Amino acid sequence: MADESDKTLGFFSDFLPKKVAGKPELQGSIKNSIVFDIVEEDGKTPWKQWTLDLKTPESAGVKEGAGDAPGCTLTVSKSNWEKILANPGAAMGLFMTGKLKVKGSQGLAMQLQKILA
């Protein structure tokens, strides 16, 4: 059986970069950046971070690490992130129960569904 992190790593290294490259309208509608802060199950210990940069067409892409001045930062455990990947609608329930934390623009975080769809 594959390591549970494979879905998360695959999302940020393969799916999301292809999505950004294939859908330039994402940059036009979002015009900001989002940091995905994936943490261990304790909810605090860092695991990995990625930045989805859609500020300009030239910068559009996915980079490992936290970018400068993101519009929002999403913090979630690996297992809960993978629940979101399997069912993007789960994000709202995780947010309401404090398992998905948003720092910065909640409106920008709501656009996550566009990214995952």
Q: How confident is the model at residue 7 (pLDDT cuts 50, 70, 90)?
A: very high
Segment holding 48, helix H or strand E: strand 46-53
Domains of the chain with CATH codes: 5-116 (3.30.1050.10)
Q: What is the mean pLDDT of residues 19-36?
A: 90
Q: What is the pTM of this model?
A: 0.91
Residue 54 — φ and ψ, nearest 5°? Answer: -125, 30
At residue 38's C-alpha, the angle toward residues 87 and 3, to 5°, is 70
pLDDT at 82: 95
